[in-house]
A and B are shown apart, each in its own frame.
Chain A
């Protein structure tokens, strides 16, 4: 059992201003942040540590097992999934204080909910789809599988020093998703179109800090996908 203070950045639907509220949680040290949020929300009355009445915490969740990417948020400063961030890995000092905030690079809807519409729009802008049947290449199967695992959670964009919703650089997840499609497309014109978009929306903007590699909640092999994408998209090679 462990007693923690969980400090949550709050914002209501109809108000621009954010504020912090702290709640106490006592429970198993193996609990995830998602479990803690569920637990706090299922209390009869929600009272913060200063004794104030609080509204229930708004956050997105789905699978609770690292497969849907809904619960991405900033936990102790790191973009992470609430479902797979466990208290035992987060408690660092004697205060047992854990701070959680919404991803900062997307508009906050309310509390920990953000509007990630721009992610899906950016993938459309980059024309990321197949026009032809996919080219089958046994050697690239594993990389293409990894490309298709991406959760679109947005953690890689949050940590990226180059990504900002207002500029043309679409960030790591667009490269990760694009890799498979660029490599599999048999229709030349559309392949070239995707390559052009890749250069414009990814290659020209990536500063290669690779902060995304460490932060990806499902450990996608980002550097490997990046070098393969560049091989095709920038150096014009065909992968063997």
Chain B
């Protein structure tokens, strides 16, 4: 038996778990804070890309590959993207065979819609709740394996630390049971991290509040590098709601929605004017930057709108139902009759845990997949590629883990040194002298980040952010313990600050503009120096930033 430990029960985690159980002699421990129904993956709206070529548009996997690489400004590993796009059509068919309720066309084929950055219809969808519908079918698939005893869920458990053997390979992890605060070591042959993006560092995000980025921050602080951390995707059409942003899916524009603003009292369709060919379906980084420019540079313009009023009732009801429902519930806006005021908001982290083409981290036996990993999307992700990347990343990480397996079956000591370290850390925490409440600190951290890592950045604001962050850590975070927050939050808060610092330092180091990273002081793209992967590594004292060559495409 090979035992895989999977941290995170969202789309990438479930995909890895199913992939393991499809082969004989594997078992899975699936660890998650909440049940899969609560994972951020259920929030994905627009759809999943794959060149199914059923629309008579002569689509191909090569074109999907080119669109993905071009949208990502050639920072993604081309070999990984080649494999992703090649397998995409089969992945969509597999999801349908698990029971995902994709919209179907008149011929009962899986229907495809237009999506940003792609000229061909390539995005399979389930109205505007594609993530939820895919997740439901995978949860049902996983349930079968749970009944068979192949998958064992540890829900209400949070990851604290990986456990390593004497040769520094990962052989398990320590988790905390959130219902009784018990610390538990779990052993296996490999650990796959699929814990989602770093949304929790920010508040201007459409992500789930439960995607804290804490696991990534813990791994980063323990020496595992982060790649391309500066590339943060702002989705052009979001609305501020509660203490975060609410997404208005790209599907709205894929189905014909138009962006405009008022100029001299008249509707100005700025995207269509500047980009006559792709218009409202330019890649997300381009549109977000245009909106940022309009709002920041033209004093007479305060608002940008998304107009769905011209779309046929049938499209609105059948393909965009959830968007209409969200607008009515949360904003009292009826998009059938009035335009939706939108602003860009953080939506996806292209950067994350550094992995190789096969989803290996630098630690033997430790893998990462889904949004927490830096893979497939380069400097900017195509809409419809995140669900795809999560499913495929889950499959690849699982296959690699099975191939590399460590055979650690015998290690199951009850008190690994990592457990003792955490216990000691908890004892020390409680003796600390500062007593700042973590929710207040968290708001302050988000503020610093949001002021420096905006859509358009420059040396001055980035350096100020870094300074503010250093001061903040020195004067408020070091030696702090908040007895009103949990152990887990206390242990990890400084880690989150260090991860935040890595994002800012990565943005400072990349002195060019590319994809989601726009520098007003370096507006040009500089392939010679920066067509490379940014690597941020914590050495225990400071963060080193360097750039690594991107692998060449194999023949």
Q: Does the CB pair B108–A180 fall under 8 Å? A: no
Minimal Cβ-Cβ distance residue in A for B143: A129
Cβ of B254 under 8 Å from chain A:
no
By a CB distance below 8 angstroms, the chain A residues around B136 are 148-150
Stretch at the interface among A3-11, A90-98, A138-146, A163-171: A138-146
- Tell me the B418-469 residues at the A interface (CB within 8 Å): 437, 439-440, 442-443
Cβ of B209 under 8 Å from chain A:
yes
By a CB distance below 8 angstroms, the chain A residues around B156 are 115
Cβ of A223 under 8 Å from chain B:
no
Cβ of A56 under 8 Å from chain B:
yes
Q: How far is the CA of A188 from the CA of B33 in the complex (A)?
A: 36
Q: Does the CB pair B440–A65 fall under 8 Å? A: no
Cβ of B35 under 8 Å from chain A:
yes
Write the nearest CB–CB distance from A31 to chain B, whole angstroms. Answer: 8
By a CB distance below 8 angstroms, the chain A residues around B140 are 128-130, 177, 181
Q: Does the CB pair B42–A141 fall under 8 Å? A: no
Minimal Cβ-Cβ distance residue in B for A58: B486
Write the nearest CB–CB distance from B125 to chain A, whole angstroms. Answer: 12
Write the nearest CB–CB distance from A190 to chain B, whole angstroms. Answer: 10
Q: Digit string of A107-132 for contact with B (CB within 8 Å is 1, else 0)?
A: 00100000111001001100111110
By a CB distance below 8 angstroms, the chain A residues around B329 are 66, 84
By a CB distance below 8 angstroms, the chain B residues around A145 are 101, 126-127, 133
Q: Digit string of B81-109 for contact with A (CB within 8 Å is 1, else 0)?
A: 00000000000000011110100100010
Asked whether A68 and B143 contact (CB < 8 A) given A63-B40, A180-B99, the answer is no
- Tell me the B131-151 residues at the A interface (CB within 8 Å): 132-133, 136-137, 140-141, 143-144, 146-147
Cβ of A26 under 8 Å from chain B:
no
By a CB distance below 8 angstroms, the chain B residues around A157 are none
By a CB distance below 8 angstroms, the chain A residues around B143 are 123-124, 128-129
Q: Does the CB pair A130–B484 fall under 8 Å? A: no
Cβ of A62 under 8 Å from chain B:
yes
Task: Give chain A's interface residue range (CB within 8 Å of chain B).
Answer: 35 or more
Asked whether A69 and B180 contact (CB < 8 A) given A130-B99, A145-B101, the answer is no
Given A41-B439, A116-B35, 7 extra CB contacts under 8 A:
A32-B330, A63-B209, A64-B209, A64-B246, A67-B129, A134-B99, A152-B35
- Which A residues form the contact surface with B (CB < 8 A)? 13, 30-32, 34-35, 38-39, 41-46, 55-56, 60-70, 83-84, 109, 115-117, 120, 123-124, 127-131, 133-134, 136, 138, 141, 144-145, 148-152, 177, 180-181, 184
- Which B residues form the contact surface with A (CB < 8 A)? 34-35, 37-40, 42-43, 96-99, 101, 104, 108, 126-127, 129, 132-133, 136-137, 140-141, 143-144, 146-147, 153, 155-156, 179-181, 208-210, 241-244, 246, 326, 329-330, 332, 437, 439-440, 442-443, 484-485
Q: List 27 A-B contacts (CB under 8 A).
A: A13-B181, A32-B242, A38-B242, A55-B484, A56-B485, A61-B209, A62-B38, A63-B209, A64-B209, A64-B246, A65-B241, A65-B246, A67-B132, A68-B42, A127-B147, A130-B99, A130-B140, A130-B141, A134-B97, A138-B104, A145-B101, A148-B101, A148-B133, A148-B136, A149-B129, A152-B37, A180-B101
